[in-house]
Amino acid sequence: MDTQQKHPPALQTGLVSVSYRNLNIDEIIALALRAGLDSIEWGGDIHVPHGDESAAETAAVKTKSAGLTVSAYGSYYRLGADLDTQKFTFSDTVRSTKKLGAKLIRVWAGNVDSALCSNEMRDKIIQDALRCADTAAENNMQIAYEFHGGTLTDTNESALNLLEQTEHPAVLCYWQPPPGKDPEYCLVGLRGIIERKKLANIHVYYWVKGERLLLRKGIPVWEKYITEINKAAGSRTLSLEFSRENNPEHTVDDADALKQIIGKK
């Protein structure tokens, strides 16, 4: 019997806080509640800066008090970068994650396109990823690569190669449909991550030719993605990111569409 098909994983809904850098912690929580979402991924640039344990604790307490969970720490730690570049350490990132009460840390696979990345830099990113994974594991956490342009996850091939080169129990990968790519290309990358049992959370949006559209316009496409996601063991969060016109009203509408897509409406 195919138990994965019989009992699909629990899918939670959420909001990525960096979608609204102009809103404060209370306003982000209020929006998530209004949209009927389950969780928040707190970002490390504005709302919960790396190493600012007070900010992380404030966000954690307020999130929990509102009946929401923290899905992850959306850090801006770039693997292979030095302190002259990012001004904080992975230890700072771990301390913030711990205060948030999160178990998953988003990290970035460098800061250059895979096609432009030298072998030396790629090796540096790989070694830093394994070092950070060890540290995360020691703290009962995992790291997950942001699936994004300008990094070693900018193509399906590079992302999957990176996962193979950094095989570690504490290494996972986010997924989101790469802007400008057709759904079939997107599905290839998603399936590859799932086949390697490395799928972490998902960032949800619907963009066509660089234009942000309401998620409900992309329901047929996202239903295909969810069919694949449901084949992955475990639970994960699908977090809304960057709604049309950066408009909270559109985020509420997107949340309604997301719940329809995953069968919670």
Give the start-to-end residue ranges of the domains of the chain. 3-261
Tell me how far apart the alpha carbons of residues 42 and 83 are, in angstroms, rounded to a whole number.
22
Using pLDDT thresholds of 50, 70 and 90, give the confidence band for residue 63: very high
CA gap 17, 70 in Å, rounded: 11
Task: Report the DSSP beta bridge partners of residue 77.
Answer: none
Q: pLDDT tier at 264 (50, 70, 90 boundaries)?
A: confident
Question: Mean pLDDT over residues 204-212, rounded?
Answer: 93
Determine how many CB atoms are found less than 10 A away from the CB of residue 159.
Answer: 25
Percent of the chain scoring above 90 in pLDDT:
94
Model pLDDT for residues 73-121, shown as the tens digit of each residue: 999 999 999 988 899 999 999 999 999 999 999 999 999 999 999 999 9
d(CA 77, CA 80): 9
- Number of C-beta neighbours around residue 125 at 10 A: 26
Pick the CATH number of 3-261 from 2.170.150.20, 3.40.50.10420, 3.20.20.150, 1.10.10.10: 3.20.20.150
pLDDT tier at 2, thresholds 50, 70, 90? very low
- Assess contact for 117 and 165: CB atoms under 8 A: no
**What are residue 201's phi and psi, to 5 degrees?**
-90, 170
| 186-179-12-2 Cα dihedral, nearest 10 degrees | 0
pLDDT at 179 over 50: yes
Query: What pLDDT was estimated at residue 31?
Result: 98
Cα 70 to Cα 101: distance, rounded to the nearest angstrom: 7
Closest CA to 225 of 181, 188, 198: 188
Tokens for 175? 């997924």
Question: What are the φ and ψ backbone dihedral angles of 176, each rounded to 5 degrees?
Answer: -155, 150
Phi and psi at 126, nearest 5°, equal -65, -45
User: Token pair for residue 11?
Assistant: 């899918």
The pTM of the full predicted model, rounded to 2 decimals, is 0.95
Q: Taking every pair of C-alpha atoms in the chain, what is the biggest distance, in angstroms?
A: 54
176 band by pLDDT with thresholds 50, 70 and 90: very high
**pLDDT at res. 3:** 34
pLDDT at 134: 98
Residue-wise pLDDT for 29-54, tens only, equals 999 999 999 999 999 999 999 999 99
Of the candidate ranges 3-17, 81-95, 221-235, 238-252, the one whose mean pLDDT is the lowest: 3-17
d(CA 132, CA 117): 20
The yes-or-no verdict on residue 255 having pLDDT over 60 is: yes
Q: What is the pLDDT of residue 9?
A: 65
131-168: pLDDT as tens digits: 999 999 999 999 999 999 999 999 999 999 999 999 99
